[in-house]
Structure 1
Amino acid sequence: MKKGKIEMLAIFFLLTCLLLLFTLFFHHHYMLTSVVFLTLTFIPFFIRFEKKNGSGRELVVLAILAAVASVSRIPFASIPSVQPMTFVIIMTGAVFGIESGFVVGALSAIVSNFFLYQGPWTVWQMYAWGLVGILAGLLKQTFFIETAIGRVIFGIVTGFLFSWIMNIWVVLTMVQNFSIEQVLVFYASSFPFDLSHALSNAFFLLVFAKRWISILTRFQKKYGLLE
């Protein structure tokens, strides 16, 4: 793993630790926690993306991918936890890298919620889907992206990861003075929905990933975008 990727992973790990600290000690101040965490998490990655000095064509490509991801979420909104948007975000990170995966993940969350419903959970969705894009970029050119079985495993893991992060938001808003036992019960009750997200990720990656990677990679090389 390259030095830059290790630094990105270390930064995100640190920010995740800060998130956990906020949720443990300041869960009575949920809105403040969300705003602080939004600032801590998003700014460094958008700054890093800005430093790449992307061309107009590259920004258009990411905007299109974010739009596709957002639109793909809407028809499945009535099916609990089936999120084709996650697939598009994974493909973006896998082909175009960490920063692109994060930007498309975070942007898709807020754009799709304009059609569904905005709320304090949007911040957490931006974080969770941004993390999925980062992980896909970190693991590009590895077993987890380059092989079918690896992509299935990656889809299942990130499906559960996204859902477990969103469960933190639900616990904070639904439970006051929560205990470990209450949290475990809630996570156990949400398992069928978490599994649905994980398996839908695996399905989309198994059926469509190879073709998407081929098309996006060919497009990237032809026009020299986001290399």
Structure 2
Amino acid sequence: MSNKWRAKVIGQILLVSVLIAVFLGLTLLLKNKHFLLFSFMLLLCSILPAYWRFEREPLKTQTLMFLAILIALAVAGRVPFASLPSVQAASFVIILGGISLGPELGFVTGSTTALVSNMFLGQGPWTPWQMFAWGLMGLTAGLIGRTQLSHRLMPMIIFGGVWGFVYGWIMDLWFALAYVNPLTMKSFILAFTASAGFDLVHCLSNVVLIALLYRSWEKLIDRLNRKYNFLPTKTH
């Protein structure tokens, strides 16, 4: 990975993170009114890395189609399991998307999945935070995809398991800031502890899906890419 490429990625992450933090802060200050407006603003922020990617290397039509298919699969992997709290098949698809498409489009995959799936499950003040959490999941998976760790099953299982908790902690942070009053260290810890069981289920569902399906999906995508050349070129 060149220093120039690394500097660009870090710059993108910092800028998008700052913009997202501003929008998330505004949703809290406005008492969760206009959350749908801020969700679309957040989606625009998440698309910025894709424009950077397009400027550096034009995205092929096949790549955009594959991105749309991944988002559709992630939505399909979330909506049917809505009755099973924290069983998130969507997370597996988002991680796979980041590994395949890179950090920029991985972020787009995660954030768009949250917004589109909530059109079926219900929008709310939680939507921007889910977009942020799943976007970061896809982005970090894209960074892992630049290394040899993405070809080793155990590191990917650990990565998916850790993100089962990190996703929950981001959502716990939103809940604590928005609804816990008064917000003390004790109440803050209790808010996080109360969701530990759900975070564990998310962790285990990621671990099981990656352990069972990651290798076969990796081979399938590699075989299809050799035939149709739809994956963007990875810059090291």
d(CA) in 2 for partners of 1:97 and 1:152? 18
- Equivalent residue in structure 1 for 2:91, among 86, 104, 118: 86
- Specify the alignment match of 2:226 in structure 1: 221
Partner of 2:214: 209
Distance 1:6 1:197, change over 3 A: farther
**Stretch deviating more after TM superposition (197-206 or 28-37):** 28-37
> Which structure 2 residues correspond to residues 25-64 of structure 1 after superposition, within 5 A?
27-31=28-32, 35=38, 38=42, 41-42=45-46, 44-51=48-55, 52-64=57-69
Q: Where does 1:119-198 land on structure 2 (aligned, <5 Å)?
A: 119-142=124-147, 144-198=149-203
One-letter code of the match for 2:79?
I
Letter paired with 1:157 = V
Select between 112-121 and 216-225 the one with higher mean Cα deviation: 216-225
Q: TM-score, normalised by structure 1?
A: 0.86
Give the unaligned 5+ runs of structure 1.
none
CA–CA separation in structure 2 for the residues paired with 1:204 and 1:44: 30
Contact residue 161 and residue 206 of structure 2 kept, 8 A: yes
What are the within-5 Å matches in structure 2 for residues 90-105 of structure 1?
90-105=95-110
Cα distance in 1, alignment partners of residues 23 and 60 from structure 2: 37
Unaligned runs of 5+ in 2: none
Change in Cα spacing, 1:38 to 1:87, as seen in structure 2 (3 Å) is same
> How far is the alpha carbon of 1:208 from its aligned partner?
0.3
Query: Within 2, Cα distance between the matches of 1:33 and 1:46?
Result: 26
Does the 8 Å CA contact 1:66/1:107 hold for their aligned counterparts? Answer: yes
Letter in 2 for 1:42: S
Contact 2:102 2:146 in 1 (8 A): no
1:13-24 residue pairs with structure 2 within 5 A? 13=14, 16=17
C-alpha distance in 1 between matches for 2:24 and 2:79: 30
Instruction: Determine helix, strand or coil for the equivalent of 1:139.
Output: helix
Indicate yes or no: 2:13 matched with 1:12: yes
1:71 correspondence with 2:72: no
Task: Note if contact 2:43-2:111 (Cα within 8 Å) is conserved in structure 1.
Answer: no
CA contact (8 A) 1:69 1:89 kept: yes
- Segment of structure 1 superposing worse, 23-32 or 179-188: 23-32
- Which piece of structure 1 moves more, 4-13 or 152-161? 4-13
Q: Which amino acid aligns with 1:8?
A: V
- Counterparts of 2:84 and 2:141 in 1: how far apart (Å)? 25
The alpha-carbon deviation at position 223 of structure 1 amounts to: 1.9
TM-score (structure 2 length as normaliser): 0.83
